[in-house]
Amino acid sequence: MWRMSNGSNPVGMLRNEVDKLFSDFFGPHVGTAESGVRGRAFPALNVWERDNELFVEAEVAGLRNEDLDISVMGNQLVIKGRRADVDEESATYHRRERRVGEFSRAIELPVAVKPEQVQARLSDGVLLITLPKAEAAKPRKVQVTT
Amino acid sequence: MASETMVQKQSEETRPNLETTRGGHVYRPNVDIVEKQDELVVLADIPGVKGAEIDIRFEDGELTIHGPATPRQDGHTRYLLQEYGVGDFYRTFRVSEQIDASRISAEYRDGVLSLHLPKVEAVKPRRINVKTG
């Protein structure tokens, strides 16, 4: 029976193949600050608005408050974070799809907001950022005089 | 002898019949599967799910994870940017390790499901003393 001398086993080799397939299929692993040119940026965002607020939501499983750094500068919202790598010693990975490491994502806000009133809440791995709009950005009812 | 693929992928693509009765998309969560000496650990990213509603089944060597997720915004929401959808998480694996189903445990925290699948005693590596003499 043929064996690799460096301790690799057939299971590990197969796993590498599978991983390669995954990365071919889903594109390169994104989630680190240096990527973002190719593939999907992390975290993926949904953005919507109400009359007085703008909402930004992201799915960030495994992150806690202390892992996140959210800031608003001008009309830019920056979400930075880090998901710890739980490397198991003396264990074999059969799948390793969950992204770890640092990420940073900046988006341009479509309207002016009040940076000092921005709130973020993390619940079951879902991040919801509430950005109250600046007065000038709120819809205003215009009275029509006759 | 243990088979080479101890855990084989069996994603929903191989099950074209799978549909949800409520309609909507079903998402395949990213997972880590770690084999330790006496257990398999499965970590699955299923954010936005209620812990009590997660359905985990282990039957005939098949592990199924189902995390129901309902939309968090109402159907009329018009997104300025929409990069992901929200829907149930679902994934199935065939596990060829011998698992002690009665001792499977699960925990859900920060959107991550951690599943512990203890191996049955018989398949734990055991050192066998060779008598000489």
- In A68-87, the residues whose Cβ lies within 8 Å of chain B are none
Report yes or no for ipTM above 0.90: no
A-chain CB neighbours of B79 within 8 Å are 46-48
If one counts every other C-beta atom within 10 angstroms of the C-beta of residue A34, the result is 8
- Where residue A47 falls (left for φ over 0; alpha for ψ -120 to 50; beta otherwise) is beta
Going from the C-alpha of A38 to that of each of A12, A17, A47, A76, A110, the distances in angstroms are: 27, 22, 22, 21, 24
Using CB atoms, which residue from B34, B49, B78 is nearest to A93?
B34
Q: How far is A90 from chain B (nearest CA, A)?
A: 7
B-chain CB neighbours of A40 within 8 Å are 83
Question: What are the per-10-residue average pLDDT scores of chain A (146 residues)?
Answer: 40 40 38 41 93 96 95 93 78 89 94 94 96 89 85
Interface touch A46/B47, C-beta < 8 Å: no
Question: What are the per-10-residue average pLDDT scores of chain B (133 residues)?
Answer: 36 48 80 92 96 94 94 91 93 90 95 95 72 79
Chain B residues with CB under 8 Å of a chain A CB are 4-7, 9, 30-37, 40-41, 43, 45-51, 72-73, 77-84, 108, 110-112
| Dihedral over Cα of A56, A41, A68, A80: its sign | negative
Per-residue pLDDT, B22 = 60
Per-residue pLDDT, B20 = 59
Per-residue pLDDT, A14 = 42
Going from the C-alpha of B2 to that of each of A5, A31, A39, B5, B52, the distances in angstroms are: 20, 35, 37, 8, 35
Q: How far is A35 from chain B (nearest CA, A)?
A: 17
Pick from A120, A5, A111: nearest CA to A57: A120
Per-residue pLDDT, B19 = 57
B-chain CB neighbours of A122 within 8 Å are 110
What residues form DSSP beta bridges with A126? A59, A123
Interface touch A63/B110, C-beta < 8 Å: yes
Cα–Cα distance for residue pair A9/B36, rounded to 1 Å: 15
Residue spans of beta strands (DSSP E) within chain B: 7-10, 26-27, 31-35, 39-45, 55-59, 62-67, 79-82, 88-95, 105-109, 112-118
Per-residue pLDDT, B84 = 93
| Whole-structure pTM value | 0.74
A-chain CB neighbours of B81 within 8 Å are 45-47, 107
**CB within 8 Å of B49: residues ≥ 6 apart:** A124, B67, B68, B69, B89, B108, B111
Per-residue pLDDT, A74 = 87
| Burial class of residue A46 (count of CB atoms within 10 Å of its CB; 0-12, 13-18, 19+) | buried
Interface touch B32/A97, C-beta < 8 Å: yes
**Between chain A and chain B, how many beta carbons pairs sit less than 8 Å apart?**
107
Using CB atoms, which residue from A49, A60, A96 is nearest to B32?
A96
Nearest C-alpha in A relative to B109: A124
